[in-house]
Amino acid sequence: MIEEDLLTKKVIGAAIEIHKELGPGLLESAYQSCLEYELIKAGLEVKKELFFPIRYKEIVLNQSYRIDLLVENKLVIELKTVEFLSDVHLAQILTYMKFGGFRKGLLLNFNVKMMKDGIKRVIL
């Protein structure tokens, strides 16, 4: 298992490389596939569109909550292609982290001029 800070740096590096090559303007799914490819190529374990249920008291809600990418079973990656990241996007990744039991996440918005402006680290 790779240390979390190094893992985060690898993911950010891959996102920057993809953005430099492709730029903004593509669908989220295109960036997701490219990031999955780069991370697997780097020898990391990646789960794509990971479904998880939400539990409320005695019931399980199967409303298809899906994590875009889960890296090494500990880093949640939520990808966006929006004009700007909002509180709703942050709430979404925090929900995934909380209910999935994950401590760290990255919110990546590829619809920016410079990728560094589309990166938000999230810690619970």
Query: What is the per-residue burial (b if ≥16 Cβ within 10 Å, else e) of 77-98?
Result: bbbbbeeebeeebeebbbebbe
Q: What pTM, to 2 d.p., does this model score?
A: 0.92
Listed in sequence order, the DSSP H helices in the chain are 4-22, 28-41, 87-100
pLDDT in tens, 34-86: 999 999 999 999 999 998 888 889 998 877 689 999 999 999 999 999 999 99
Q: Which amino acid is at 116?
A: K
Q: Which residue ranges form the domains of the chain, and what is each CATH number?
A: 4-123 (3.40.1350)
Instruction: Specify the long-range contacts of residues 47-52, CB closer than 8 Å, at least 24 apart.
Output: 47/73, 52/96, 52/99, 52/100
In the block, residue with structure tokens 């993809």: 18
Read out DSSP for 88-108? HHHHHHHHHHHHHT-SEEEEE
Backbone φ and ψ for 86, nearest 5 degrees, come out as -115, 175
pLDDT in tens, 12-31: 999 999 999 999 999 999 99
